[in-house]
Amino acid sequence: MSPGEGIAVLAAICGKLSKGGAAKTLAIVVLLASCLQAVAAGTITFPSYGAMPVLSFPATLSASRDAPVGTVLNSKAGNAGLAASGLTCDVQKDATVSGILVPGSTNVYQTGVPGIGVRFYMTSGWKGSWVSVPVSQTLTQPNGTTAHYTRADLVVTGPVGSGAIATWPSMTVRFTGSCIATVTATQYLTGSVAMTSNTCSVTTPSLDFALPKALTKDLVAPGATTGDTTESLGLNCAAGVKVAVTLSDAVSPQNRSTTLSLAPESSASGIGLQILHGTTQVAFGPDSAVANNTNQWTAGTASGGAMQVPLTARYVRTTDTLTPGSVKGKATFTMSYQ
């Protein structure tokens, strides 16, 4: 017989016996109370410390525009506490989030500022490590008291924008079981955050390398180089921004070597161009600002204000046969601010 059926039967008996006298009615009422206690014999208390933790991020935060996706900008956690007594059944713990998922994610929620999301965590099981939310777990007849934490991380989900975050997703935790009354508590995030995207402005949008005339005697064999000419890429950056650069071959976008293809208007052959940062030959990559893009390289970390990135172009002989003529190459640069 289920608990509900038991109550219905007792109610019917109470109705019949009440005609026989007050004493019998009282006995049935006591029996009914006993049955109700069997339905909810145990208790879950959450939070057991009186209230859910206050989780609030700093009022101002900044991040580089192209910080790697998944970067944790700030994290806040608190102990809500969990208590169980008299349980004779397993308990289901379900944690859900009220919010809009970041496209492509299963556990990061939008904040309203581009590139910034929130991920919730809580103690796994009864007293385990962290588990991300949403999650559903079974607690096997828990009893006693334990620390039980909630946590929220502010994470990068894409190119970071600037703006204010004042409305937050929230996490709700629900405990259910056949021997307990359902317990529900919600973890809110409080306060607001003014988010700033740190970037640089490019002060030299194009660079022209006027290489000197090269003589065949300076390029005696494949791999020989000459005509080193240096120009600087100018930037103006916020302090702390890690500046990364990808150079792309405009003539052959799939080129991933260190030799720049010649433009169609070139008349020379057997020769190419190289670009160096310092003494390092730069390999060409896709036109993308994503962190860790193929052949992306680090130019340095900005101290704030003007920043120069010197680049050197030179000729390189590529084949045994060398035909004199004009040489022209085209490359693009893509900045990534991490």
- Please say if the pLDDT value at position 222 is more than 80: yes
Q: Which fold has domain 200-337?
A: Immunoglobulin-like (2.60.40)
The tens digit of pLDDT for each residue in 225-254 reads 999 999 999 999 999 899 999 999 999 999
Which runs of E-coded beta strand occur in 147-216? 149-156, 163-165, 170-176, 183-187, 189-190, 193-198, 200-202
The tens digit of pLDDT for each residue in 133-185 reads 999 999 999 999 999 999 999 999 999 999 999 999 999 999 999 999 999 99
> Would you place residue 40 in the very low, low, confident or very high pLDDT band (cuts 50, 70, 90)?
low
Q: Residue 318: CB partners within 8 Å, gap ≥ 6? A: 222, 259, 270, 271, 272
Average of per-residue pLDDT across 310-330: 94
- Please say if the pLDDT value at position 4 is more than 60: no
> Would you place residue 192 in the very low, low, confident or very high pLDDT band (cuts 50, 70, 90)?
very high
Exposed, middle or buried: residue 165 (CB in 10 Å: 0-12, 13-18, 19+)? buried
Question: CA quadruple 212, 218, 220, 222: dihedral positive or negative?
Answer: negative
Which range, of 5-9, 39-43, 292-296, averages the lowest pLDDT? 5-9
pLDDT at residue 41, rounded to an integer: 76
Instruction: State which H helix or E strand residue 226 sits in.
Output: strand 225-237
Cα–Cα distance list, 108 to 28, 132, 180, 223 (Å): 54, 9, 32, 50
Q: CA geometry: angle at 270 spanning 268 and 276, to 5°? A: 95
Q: What residue spans define the domains of the chain?
A: 3-39, 43-198, 200-337
Q: CA geometry: angle at 233 spanning 65 and 229, to 5°? A: 150
The CATH number for 43-198, chosen from 3.30.300.30, 3.40.50.720, 3.40.50.620, 2.60.40.3310, is 2.60.40.3310
pTM comes to: 0.73
Q: Which residue has the higher pLDDT, 33 or 64?
A: 64
The tens digit of pLDDT for each residue in 248-306 reads 999 999 999 999 999 999 999 999 999 999 999 999 999 999 989 999 999 999 999 99
> Would you place residue 14 in the very low, low, confident or very high pLDDT band (cuts 50, 70, 90)?
very low
